[in-house]
Amino acid sequence: MIYRYAAVLLSVVFLFTGCTRTDLTEVSEKLEQARAGAASAEHEWRAYLGDRESRQYSPLKSIDRSNVSKLTLAWQYDASAGDSSLWGESQHNPLIVKGVLYGTSAHGKRLFALNAATGEEIWQWLPPETVEQVSRGLVYWSGEQGEDERILFGSGSWIYAIDARTGTLIPGFGEQGRINLGADLSDQEVESDFLAATTPGVVYRDLLIQGMRVNEFSGAAPGHIRAYDIPSGKLVWRFHTIPRAGEYGADTWSENALLTAGGANSWAGMALDENRGIVYIPTGSASFDFYGADRAGDNLFANSLIALNAATGERIWHYQVVRHDLWDRDLPSPPNLVTLEMDGQSVDAVVQATKSGHLFVFDRETGTPLFPIREEPVYGVPLPGEHPAKTQPIPVLPPPFAAQGLNQEQLARRSPEVLENARARLEKHQHQGIYNLPSVEGSILRPGFDGGAEWGGSAWDQDQGFLYINASEIASVVQMLPVGGTTMGEAVSAAMVYHMACGQCHGGDRRGGGIAPSLRGVGSRLMPWELYDVIKHGRGRMPAIDTRIGNLGTLAIMWHLYTAEGSEGVIPDNASHTSYANTGYPDFMAPDNLPASAPPWGTLNAIDLSSGTIRWRIPLGDYPQAIERGMSGLGTQNYGGPVATAGGLVFIASTPDAKFRAFDSSTGQLLWETALPTGGFATPAVYQAAGKQYVVINASGSKLGTAPGRYYLAYTLPD
């Protein structure tokens, strides 16, 4: 009977959206078929990373240690709908609600609903504006009586409200169905308008509590946290992560910094204690990431775990994990809400993983650390004008889940040539500890720029008391470059314009690495008008930069790229300068295109949080180039997190060898693996539909040298 009423409602919706009766009939029939296979809420995947506590855990146990080796592909869905422009990087962790799977294509350009048991498409929706960004997840919300069901979908700086049943825009939400994250952000003037809802917010009652991604350079927007009324889209509260004058924490910034400071944003997601009404919010660094002469002080609430009253946005407690960050040490993933057995008592705790490879564990209500925290020295000589903190907090327990720092004993020894090269290069860089100040000669950062922990999150198994977390363990080099002037217009050479606008991604020597390709030899690949077009309009992950530097700046970059061949393109030491920029995001690699540090280069870890010990630790994945040389079991960089189940399993993809694996959660033994079409750089989801248990992974590749892809793949046991 309920579906007949739904059909009537759909008739009205489609009447006003221009769809035909045939569309209505087809969508309602497919929706009914999918919802007929719905499971209970706890057996589906109704929130980003599984639940609002961010546990990444499923109580399902039909698939267990004894039968996981029999898993087979149940269905495969092409998220591009045949459009090759929709191939590419996706980090999406889908929702499964009432028998329906909700997901997005690469770049978040297409939202769709599938029958979770069969993979058959029910509907799709395309945002009106094309945005080149990844989408990590969605938000599902329903009214108190269930009469209103919405998917909240972030695309660029917009959040759209889509009817979960029909795939149509809900015009009563915000401005014609969407809210703009750039509105009601701040009273200060923001030079950069780059904002993105890459990671979904969290729902508390009828509130959407939302963070965002912002520019990481000078002039970035402030990363204030906001809550919106979901039925109307109206702003309800705002928490200033960069405090205003007179607010708590304002004294941790220089006075002028409050007028222009940006960042301190929550891009990684949040966790909610619904019973207590507390939302736990991790934040990233203040901008600019690597040079903070214009932001003296510790810079609250950057790099902090903040506990807020979810209804009002009032601060309850906070802990700053990195003071005056100069290493881009954003808090990279949502915290986990856990219950620990400590000294014979149950303690509700919140656990925050870090890029530095540590776990900070706090009492949920008070913010009291549950393990001792020591102070780690900051090493090196500050750049002119800089004022770093002297020490940084490090938990004594649990021990780090990723290698710390880099010395001669930790270099790769797979050949005498690799070792000799690594030794010579290491001695040129500052490498005294894990917090080496950025320097002109280069400073070692290990774990590297991306951690340690990353956005994929950690899985919590309450029955075992284990937290499962994957880690990248390679090293990177933070090298700074003096630049002329404080603005693009004051730069005194074409090289300086290049370094200020492009060097932070493509490197001072134009070799690329990390997040951007090499620009060496670009003159033989692109004609001048083609290069001009790329700079002006952007391409792929590269944003347009012409609006920041103007036509003359664009021509200066082109001149530098076409004339710098045969040189390293470094600015002379005697050049006048007032600021510094980093020369890119290079990893510490050997000439054979493998890490110059000793393996493992990536791991999966099981941590007993009650005792603060690591129970097991195994290498995760292999680089294809290592396999080609007969090497395996060394681990790799990895993106996307694990999921644990009551069946005693940990599922994870995340590696460039394009494998999807299941491990014994007690021992770390590999129990099952399968080849994916390309790398699965996303966190999987586990759910029940039509009476069967499934595990689904988004395989889109486009990272760590893997080919672009477009598939969602669901696995189950054979009948």
141 and 32 in a common domain? no
| Among 46, 13, 39, CA closest to 27 | 13
Indicate the length of the chain as a whole number.
Answer: 719
Q: What percent of the chain has pLDDT over 90?
A: 74
CATH number at residue 570: 1.10.760.10
Average pLDDT over residues 416-424: 96
* The 3-state secondary structure of 419-438, one letter per residue: HHHHHHHHCCCECCCCCECC
| Cα–Cα dist 524/110, whole Å | 35
Q: What range defines the domain where residue 202 resides?
A: 137-334
Beta bridge mates, 662: 651, 672
HSE-CB at 478 with a 13 A cutoff on CA atoms is 27
* Degrees to nearest 5, angle at CA 610 with 607 and 614: 25
* The predicted structure's pLDDT at residue 493: 58
* The predicted structure's pLDDT at residue 553: 72
| Among 632, 634, 604, CA closest to 616 | 604
For residues 95 and 47, the answer to whether their CB atoms sit within 8 Å is yes
Task: Note whether residue 15 is domain-resident.
Answer: yes
| Cα–Cα dist 102/95, whole Å | 5
* The predicted structure's pLDDT at residue 535: 81
**How much is the mean pLDDT over the chain?**
90
* The predicted structure's pLDDT at residue 6: 45
Report pLDDT digits (tens) over 133-191. Answer: 889 999 999 998 888 999 999 998 999 999 999 999 999 999 999 999 999 887 665 55
Task: Note whether residue 203 is domain-resident.
Answer: yes
Report pLDDT digits (tens) over 275-289. Answer: 999 999 999 999 999
pLDDT category of residue 563 using cuts at 50, 70 and 90? confident
* Degrees to nearest 5, angle at CA 668 with 664 and 671: 45
Report pLDDT digits (tens) over 188-224. Answer: 655 556 889 999 999 999 999 999 999 887 778 999 9
| Cα–Cα dist 606/458, whole Å | 10
Task: Note whether residue 577 is domain-resident.
Answer: yes
* Degrees to nearest 5, angle at CA 201 with 655 and 122: 75
* The predicted structure's pLDDT at residue 436: 97
176 and 291 in a common domain? yes
pLDDT category of residue 562 using cuts at 50, 70 and 90? confident
pLDDT surpassing 80 at residue 507: no
Task: Note whether residue 625 is domain-resident.
Answer: no
Pairing of strands 57-58, 643-645: parallel
CATH number at residue 172: 2.40.128.630
For residues 661 and 83, the answer to whether their CB atoms sit within 8 Å is no
165 and 296 in a common domain? yes
Beta bridge mates, 103: 112
Q: Is 415 exposed, middle or buried (0-12, 13-18, 19+ CB in 10 A)?
A: exposed
Question: pTM score, two decimals?
Answer: 0.90
Task: Note whether residue 278 is domain-resident.
Answer: yes
| Strand arrangement, sheet containing 708-716 | 72-78, 708-716, 692-701, 685-689
| Cα–Cα dist 585/572, whole Å | 21
| Number of neighbouring beta carbons within 10 Å of residue 29 | 13
Domain boundary among 309, 334, 359: 334
pLDDT surpassing 70 at residue 570: no
pLDDT surpassing 90 at residue 255: no
- Residue located via tokens 């997190």: 641
Pairing of strands 708-716, 235-239: unpaired
Domain boundary among 284, 306, 334: 334
Average pLDDT over residues 552-564: 78
Report pLDDT digits (tens) over 25-82. Answer: 899 999 999 999 999 999 999 999 999 999 999 999 999 999 999 999 999 999 998 8
Report pLDDT digits (tens) over 284-305. Answer: 999 999 999 999 999 999 999 9
Q: What percent of the chain has pLDDT over 70?
A: 88
Domain boundary among 516, 548, 582: 582
* The predicted structure's pLDDT at residue 24: 74
Q: Is 217 left (phi over 0), alpha (psi -120 to 50) or beta?
A: beta
Task: Note whether residue 10 is domain-resident.
Answer: yes
Task: Note whether residue 573 is domain-resident.
Answer: yes
For residues 283 and 265, the answer to whether their CB atoms sit within 8 Å is yes
Q: Name the H helices within 526-623.
A: 528-537, 546-563
pLDDT category of residue 20 using cuts at 50, 70 and 90? very low
Q: Per the structure, how many domains does the chain have?
A: 3
Q: Is pLDDT larger for residue 92 or for residue 526? A: 92
Task: Note whether residue 358 is domain-resident.
Answer: no
pLDDT category of residue 580 using cuts at 50, 70 and 90? confident
Report pLDDT digits (tens) over 491-502. Answer: 345 666 676 677
